[in-house]
Amino acid sequence: MKINKFFPIMLLIALALGFILGRYLMPNGENEKWTPDKINLYYIEKQSPITKLEQPQAFDLIQSLIVFEKGDMMSGGNSPLTAEDVNEMKKSGAVEYVYDEPISIQINNGDEKIERTKFKSILFPIDEKWDGAAYIQTTDSTYLSFVSRPSLDFILRHWIE
């Protein structure tokens, strides 16, 4: 008889725990918007595209290793990169998140002027020269400084040979 008394309580606890864990583990829309549709790896003048469908394990691993602050606002005021800088980054090694649909963010230029811009990719150079910076490629193909993040050299050495 004691089992019958505890069964409803155990069931209620299990349902509550399942609900709480389900809500906690469920991906939210903000993070999904930052999930790239494709990842391009550049190393020693080679390029290797990765998609979640074709190489899910590599795709997820790279995503888990690239840590950067995601948000709707970024500081601006830095000069855009030149085409030569972008080519140098790709030759020396970089990871690029590519999005099918542009992501819209706001840029604060420091003079209290906030502009909205859209970008279609994020370039993460691995060379120490770039101090862990990341750059967005706007829809008009201009590269702007975005955020700083940890080094990626060891990722590319492993995946591109």
Choose among 98, 108, 20: nearest CA to 62. Answer: 98
Q: What is the mean pLDDT of residues 22-28?
A: 46
pLDDT computed for residue 108 by the predictor? 74
As a whole number of angstroms, the distance between CA 81 and CA 70 comes to 21
pLDDT computed for residue 160 by the predictor? 63
Contact by Cβ (8 Å): 122, 89:
no
Q: What is the mean pLDDT of residues 5-32?
A: 53
Q: What separation, in Å, do the N-terminal and C-terminal C-alpha atoms of the chain show? A: 66
pLDDT computed for residue 53 by the predictor? 92
Contact by Cβ (8 Å): 108, 74:
yes
Residue type, 107: I
pLDDT at 133 over 50: yes
Domain ranges in the chain are: 30-159
User: 0.75 exceeded by the pTM?
Assistant: no
pLDDT at 75 over 50: yes
pLDDT at 44 over 70: yes
Tokens coding 117: 């811009």
